[in-house]
Structure 1
Amino acid sequence: MEIEGQVRIPSGCAIAAVISKEGRRMPGSIVSEAMRPMHERSNGLGGGFAGYGIYPAYREFYAMHMFFDCRDTRKSCEAFLKERFELVQSELIPTRKMPSITGEPIIWRYFLSPFPSLLRSLQLDEKEFVARTVMKINAEIKGAFVFSSGKNMGVFKAVGYPEDVGEFYRLEDYAGYAWSAHGRYPTNTPGWWGGAHPFTLLDWSVVHNGEISSYDANRRYMEMFGYQCTLQTDTEVITYIMDYLLRVQGLSLAEAASVVAAPFWSTIESKTEHREKHIYLRSMFPSLLITGPFSIVLGFTGGLMALNDRLKLRSMVVGEKDDRVFIASEEAAIRMMEPEAEHIWAPAGGEPVIVRVKEGAY
């Protein structure tokens, strides 16, 4: 009989991230290896990574990473893309065979740019146009899924343990100034390639440990603004919420954090600093409060933001060394990335940790 203390019961899922504030590029293997000491937090049903600064030769073009169920689907989707974009490069994403990674779809990437004439006729800026294109493909082209769509960044994910997924995608061949990682332990959603983390839209990427009990309310609100949740997991909606608050509404990162992990009304009433702002944000976006346990890392061009739910129901620690900042579910993962990491600390619930790369360094 097992007794308490002899069996490790993890609090589900593993997240890790690293960023260089000087914009120094690091191989993707650094964060892939960081997932090994958190192996028990995953169950092999999903692993993935987001890297920023990995496509310097194509930095001006959107990098669209896609899954296809068959060659015919790829051909029909490519014809659709050619009506809307200039395709600069089209290729298979390189992988290596791994016994533990099975059932892989066709994994493809495109580097592309929207036709300016089409943007003018539709009266859309290019980010809105790309976001709408991603939603349309994922909702309407059966067997095709866009799982990454930002500039000079990319996501690599699969069904498997994260350390195996990192080897599968040959992450040692990529270098970026920021990386995030996820090991999945799904509880009430399916384990499939499109449902692995990170979830992205444009250059936003989200890895998440926890469960969103407010998912239906959050999803219904976002659907009013054209966002469609098609990837069969609650985390997807966090990415769209962040895109809506940051890109569409123009909020700052700290303000967006104050929406999704809003202070309790009793806490707001006792605040003397920024009290009116907190009242406004809670009143303006009540349906975007995310309830339930969560720790997330939001990646974006030039930075990372780590955030716990306001009750801090999921673990997350931060460490530093020289110009690098490390974030993970456990200190062991930080020590794997940097054995001499300093200032290890746990962020407070609902208080964002925002790290930016020096201006012009990426």
Structure 2
Amino acid sequence: MALAPAAAMAAPGDSALIAQCLHRLAVQQLRKDSFYYAGMFRTYRTWAASPGTLREDNAIFYTGLIVFTLRQLEPLLTEGERAVCDSIVTRALKAYPYFRNANGRPTFNFWPTDHPVFFPNATVLSRFRRSKQITDDLDDTSILWLGAGIPDSTARRLQVLMDAHAAGPGHRANSTYRAVRDLPAYSAWFGIRTPIELDAGVVANVLYFLRDRGLTPDAHDSASVRFLAYVVQKRKYWTDPAFASTYYPRTPVLLYHLARFMGRFPDLDAYRGQVKADLREAMAGAKDGMDRVILGTSLLRLGDTAGLRALSPRLGVAHGVGARPDDGASPDALSPEDDPFLFYIANIASLFPNPIRRMALHNPLFIYHFYSPAYNDALLLEYLVLRRAAATGG
């Protein structure tokens, strides 16, 4: 297929921007233990009811996403780019043990497990003792193992644990759509006392992990695919994203998760044309530069060259799209206020059964936004690398 003129222009300029993104990631990576562990990237949290107040949060989530993203991109990088990428990954992996289950189980937590704190730096929430024992979750566990690599025997053991905490008889998913409430799909949590919660973004990540490791599909696996198929077929990512995916509640972000899974695995191929059409429509109406980045990435993952036109080839100097202070700036100078791109949230209402969950889902009292300037750079890097590969036939 002949590439559009914009595609032919992209590759040379993109290589320079790729180098800039990698450099910015390296600059932002923490070298010393403090509130964070060495190798992590800063995360900021804000309460939706008080959006002007930013608090630092030492969750591993965004660091894990950055490592996973870099691992995916490695085969498409030049030798010099790969060297920078590998150095970032090597440093980041040293922080992972602090978030692994304290009892030796191969699961990970959102927050450190050596000194558990619920919502660190929070005035009130961090004081709750029982909440300091927050359970490990399937999303962080899948993302971190995808970046770290996992032995086959450990992966099989983890699949058994995932199955044991999935929905099933006596563990109905009462907080999701009635049509899929009885599916024995994967829940978001490993906790025994935690309600079963089906989240389309989380399920897509869990299935990606299981497929990536070549684990044998079982009843929970196939039920999870049926859950995603329902969300896609009914276009819930468009009409009802916050209910379909509490943690990734915006249409561009949920489409990004679905496209990442669909771009590599064939389970939802029946809906490929529909998703590509909706991605194009979403990109045409997107106002935020980072939304256009992830929508463009999603189109490229599905083989649609419309993704090549998500942003100008000179996007690295565009305001609000990966824009940062000078490359030599200290990480202390970086702030999500440069581009407060909302990728992930925590919503306490997600633990409520219906119809309470539906009514409370958009209440700012229950919602916490999590930002990471470094992850913005990783997303921009991902788009640039995929665009260069598509433009050059790589």
TM-score (norm 2): 0.28
The structure whose residues are more often strand, as a share, is 1
TM-score, length-normalised on structure 1? 0.30
